[in-house]
């Protein structure tokens, strides 16, 4: 299998390194920055953390025409860069190529489908935690399942092949017939944690140790669950608040990706997480004051430093 990973961020580097180390696929990374691509091509990708410490060389380019036809494209860019990124993959998108998104938030599958066609798109989530220490240097903070599926709920031969290759590379992966429910399940967790950690500058675990932040977490999650129920979305856990609190405990020292973005003065994915819940709630006439305030505060903080666009 030939795999192209779009975006050399924390997760992009982590997945590229896993595939390259296990030699389960021919791996390329597409970067939008030609100078960075050359540096990474020369220096390789370094991984530290829960999966051990190792370094691998990977083919990295900023020229889509260098890659040729592939079997799988994995999008590892921020949600606000999805449309731009997908428009660059044409030169190596073969007749039978699939596009996999494991990105945060809502709307990515729909955006990708509009450009490449719904039949090519596979969506899902990953529970791996990764932090970019520096260019091409990722700290692997934690492992977990990766769940993938198609919007129509079918299991194709290509999907099974993707699952097998990912599992052999050390990325524990399973298939689902309800990818929308899986994506919403992660969205609700992110809505309860990410924005509040970004605003308070607290690690995940502190949110449930302090009564004030624990209450806000509960409010944001409860609003999101009301929207999911109204849309008849089936979540993959029975007690959403208990689930979010268990994630906080399991990742107690972790700094959420949104907090990392604000600390680095980068644009966040707030519009695709709490902001998406607010938009969905409005369309259903459901109040969402907690998510509205969280989204507005993060956007205000962004405007305070005029974040640059990132890969």
Same-domain status, 168 and 212: no
Same-domain status, 105 and 216: no
Is residue 72 domain-resident? yes
Active-site residue numbers? 186
Residue 311: pLDDT band with limits 50, 70, 90: very low
Pairwise CA distance, residues 34 & 211, whole Å: 48
Domain termination site, one of 127, 146, 177:
177
Q: Which two tokens stand for residue 138?
A: 């990722």
CATH of the domain at 270: 1.10.1040.10
Pairwise CA distance, residues 260 & 131, whole Å: 9
pLDDT at position 17 is 97
Same-domain status, 24 and 127: yes
Same-domain status, 48 and 99: yes
Same-domain status, 190 and 168: no
Number of structural domains found in the chain: 2
CATH of the domain at 95: 3.40.50.720
Is residue 277 domain-resident? yes
Q: DSSP states of the chain as a string?
A: -EEEEE--SHHHHHHHHHHHHHT-SEEEEE-S-HHHHHHHHHH-EEEEETT--EEE--EEES-GGGT--EEEEEE-S-GGGHHHHHTT-GGGEEEEEEEEE--SSSSHHHHHHHHH-GGGEEEEEE--EEEEEETTEEEEEE---EEEE-TT----HHHHHHHHHHHHTT--EEE-S-HHHHHHHHHHHHHHHHHHHHHHT--GGGGGTSHHHHHHHHHHHHHHHHHHHHTTPPPSSS-HHHHHHHHHHHTTTPPPHHHHHHHTTB--SGGGTHHHHHHHHHHTT---HHHHHHHHHHHHHHHTT-PBP--
Pairwise CA distance, residues 282 & 237, whole Å: 25
Same-domain status, 149 and 261: no
Pairwise CA distance, residues 286 & 35, whole Å: 47
Same-domain status, 203 and 141: no
Q: Assess whether pLDDT exceeds 80 at residue 307.
A: no
Same-domain status, 135 and 251: no
Instruction: Please state the rounded mean pLDDT for residues 13-27.
Output: 93
Q: Assess whether pLDDT exceeds 60 at residue 118.
A: yes
Domain termination site, one of 139, 160, 177:
177
Same-domain status, 222 and 147: no
Nearest to residue 150, comparing CAs of 185, 187, 112?
A: 112
Same-domain status, 14 and 155: yes
pLDDT at position 24 is 78
| Structural domain harbouring 248 | 180-303
Domain termination site, one of 156, 177, 198:
177
Percent of residues, the chain, with pLDDT higher than 90: 90
Instruction: Please state the rounded mean pLDDT for residues 102-130.
Output: 95
Pairwise CA distance, residues 245 & 138, whole Å: 26
HSE-up of residue 97 (Cα within 13 Å, Cβ side): 23
Instruction: Please state the rounded mean pLDDT for residues 272-286.
Output: 98
Is residue 310 domain-resident? no
Instruction: Please state the rounded mean pLDDT for residues 290-295.
Output: 98
pLDDT at position 103 is 95
Q: Assess whether pLDDT exceeds 80 at residue 60.
A: yes
Q: How do residues 141-164 score in pLDDT, each as one tens digit?
A: 888 899 999 999 999 999 999 999
Same-domain status, 169 and 204: no
Same-domain status, 97 and 11: yes
Q: How do residues 220-278 score in pLDDT, each as one tens digit?
A: 999 999 999 999 999 999 999 999 999 999 888 888 999 999 999 999 999 999 999 99
């Amino acid at each position: 299998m030939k795999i192209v990973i779009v975006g050399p961020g924390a997760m992009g580097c982590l997945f590229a390194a896993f595939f390259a180390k296990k030699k389960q696929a021919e791996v390329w990374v597409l970067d939008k920055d030609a100078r960075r691509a050359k540096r990474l091509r020369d220096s390789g990708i370094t991984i530290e953390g829960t999966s051990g410490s190792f370094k691998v060389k990977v083919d990295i380019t900023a020229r889509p025409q260098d890659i040729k036809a592939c079997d799988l494209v994995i999008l590892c860019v921020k949600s606000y860069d999805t449309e731009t990124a997908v428009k660059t993959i044409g030169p190596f998108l073969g007749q039978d190529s699939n596009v996999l998104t494991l990105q945060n938030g809502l709307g990515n599958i729909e955006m990708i489908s509009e450009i490449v066609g719904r039949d090519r798109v596979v969506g899902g989530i990953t529970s791996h935690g990764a932090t970019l220490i520096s260019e091409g240097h990722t700290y692997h903070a934690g492992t977990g399942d990766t769940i993938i599926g198609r919007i129509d709920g079918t299991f194709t031969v290509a999907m099974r092949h993707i699952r097998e290759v990912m599992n052999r590379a050390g990325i524990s992966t399973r298939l689902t017939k309800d990818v929308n429910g899986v994506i919403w399940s992660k969205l609700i967790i992110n809505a309860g944690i990410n924005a509040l950690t970004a605003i308070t500058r607290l690690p995940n675990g502190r949110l449930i140790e302090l009564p004030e932040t624990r209450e806000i977490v509960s409010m944001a999650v409860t609003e999101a669950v009301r929207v999911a129920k109204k849309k008849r979305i089936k979540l993959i856990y029975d007690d959403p608040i208990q689930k979010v609190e268990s994630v906080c405990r399991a990742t107690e020292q972790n700094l959420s990706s949104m907090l990392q973005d604000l600390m680095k003065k980068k644009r966040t994915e707030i519009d695709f997480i709490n902001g998406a819940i607010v938009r969905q709630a409005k369309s259903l006439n459901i109040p969402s004051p907690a998510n509205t305030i969280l989204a507005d505060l993060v956007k205000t903080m962004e405007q305070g430093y005029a974040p640059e666009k990132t890969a």
